[in-house]
Amino acid sequence: MSMISVNPATGQPVQVYPEMTPEEAAAAVDRAHDAWLGWRDSPFAGRAALMHKMAAILRERREEMARLMAVEMGKPLAQGVAEVEKCAWVCEYYAASAENYLAPEPVEVKGAGAYVAFEPLGAVLAVMPWNFPFWQVYRFAAPALMAGNVGLLKHAANVPGCALLIEALFREAGFPEGVFTHLPIGSGQVQAVIEHPRVRAVTLTGSTPAGRAVASRAGAALKKTVLELGGSDAYLVMEDADIEDAASLCVRSRLINSGQSCIAAKRLIVVRPVRAAFTERFTALMREQKVGDPLEAGTQVGPLARRDLRDDLHRQVAASVAKGAKLLLGGEAPPGPGAYYPPTVLSGVTPGMPAYDEELFGPVAAIIEAEGEADAVRIANDTAFGLGAAVFTGDRERGERIARRLEAGSVFINQFVSSDPRLPFGGVKTSGYGRELGCYGIREFVNIKTVCIKVV
């Protein structure tokens, strides 16, 4: 078996990579466990030094990694460089904060001395997606490894070169053999790895169906899981918002990674008094974005990662238009071998349309009119997803009031949703459970152990 890397801008194969056999994968898990037996007792200072070395390597080689992302999944170069910089940041953040986050916490207990300790679990399997092929991995690996766990990476099949390079970077930074291991396996082998007795936990970032599959298998094996799944983020624009600022930020959010982001602005819920003005400005800004080869400087929107993903997105757009949505911009897949799709704007979006009910994973925005604040909140929560949301208003108190009523893991006011090493990140409803990043993220994969000593 093998994995083939295909350039989505040209449709041409890039390289073929061999896949591990089940026996090789099981042996790799065993080696990771053996490495953990030593790594778990290593001092925080030693782990931190390696993380700082990793950050330095990432920054030094960021152009190389950005180019690889452009070739394997179509990310524009400037966005790839920014992604690698963010990976360096998360390494440095946990190098500086892990020891404090995991310090024993004393608890007052009458007649005894007690504290809570945070101890590593062991080998953690990470099933990671293609859309942020470096950031998603480091977002998991930096806290997990700093906590004393070891990492096993099952990456998406269309970014095998990225996965192989990440494993090499951990070796280059000086991490002991087996502390971070890339498993080049297909989805058919994931269940066996989850069930391996030396795998202690699983984290997945990906689609809701993939999350359900992994959670069911991990649950049957009684393995802890963290799931960061799909999103259909609602961006609420109130009548007192700065329309120019709101439109600009919504465009930036909607087109991050060519629209292939779980926390992109997907449902733009605009109250009636400003719906026309916002729609006009937003559409004009979407029209200005440069679509092109991700390897060319100045490209803002590259191809989608695969041709089938482009075709699925177009099906959603066409079905929404057939049900009454108005196409204001884009909506036509261009000819040629690449997986390109233009920035697209749909208005008049209502329940029953894919643009309302489903996640649009590409450069397509759905504009939904709301009667007022209460109706906007209702529409925002009228979804199976609950990852992120944003509110645009000139009244901070109002923004916070609305934010507290939105069913989402993160709500940003007058800015677009983003992940930050300092802030917990994750969702509710079918967007998953558990948290990454911040102090909560590093405590997901530890044994929260009570130690109680009788006073004599």
**Confidence label for 285 from pLDDT (cuts 50, 70 and 90):** very high
Q: What's the whole-model pTM score?
A: 0.97
Distance CA 88, CA 96 (A): 13
pLDDT given at position 112: 85
Q: Which two tokens stand for residue 120?
A: 């590593």
Rounded to 10 degrees, the C-alpha dihedral 420/135/225/380 comes to 50
Residue 456 has pLDDT above 90, yes or no: no
> Could you tell me which residues are beta bridge partners of residue 267?
234, 366
Strand, coil or helix: 310: helix
Active-site positions read 228, 262
From the list 275, 208, 206, the residue with the least C-alpha distance to 246 is: 275
> Could you tell me which residues are beta bridge partners of residue 201?
124, 224
pLDDT given at position 1: 73
Query: Which helix (H) or strand (E) segment is 441 a member of?
Result: helix 438-442
pLDDT tens by residue, 374-418: 999 999 999 999 999 999 999 999 999 999 999 999 999 999 999
Place of tokens 């800004």: 285
Q: What average pLDDT score do residues 421-436 get? A: 98
Given 3.40.190.10, 3.40.605.10, 3.40.50.11270, 3.40.50.2300, which CATH number is that of 2-229+429-454? 3.40.605.10
Q: What residue ranges do the domains of the chain occupy?
A: 2-229+429-454, 234-413
Instruction: Cite the DSSP H helix spans in 185-306.
Output: 190-195, 208-220, 243-255, 272-288
pLDDT given at position 111: 82
Q: Which residues of 226-240 are buried (b: 16+ CB within 10 A; e: fewer)?
A: bbbbbbbbbbbbbbe
pLDDT tens by residue, 54-67: 999 999 999 999 99
**Confidence label for 333 from pLDDT (cuts 50, 70 and 90):** very high
pLDDT tens by residue, 186-245: 999 999 999 999 999 999 999 999 999 999 999 999 999 999 999 999 999 999 999 999
CB-based contacts of 237, cutoff 8 Å, min separation 6: 243, 246, 250, 268, 269, 270, 271, 274, 278, 392
**Confidence label for 455 from pLDDT (cuts 50, 70 and 90):** confident
Phi, psi of 33 (to 5 degrees): -60, -45
> Could you tell me which residues are beta bridge partners of residue 291?
301
What size, in residues, is the chain? 456
Distance CA 220, CA 204 (A): 16
Please provide the CATH number assigned to the domain covering 234-413.
Answer: 3.40.309.10
DSSP string, 321-377: HHTT-EEEE---PPSSSS-----EEEES--TTSHHHHS---SSEEEEEEESSHHHHH
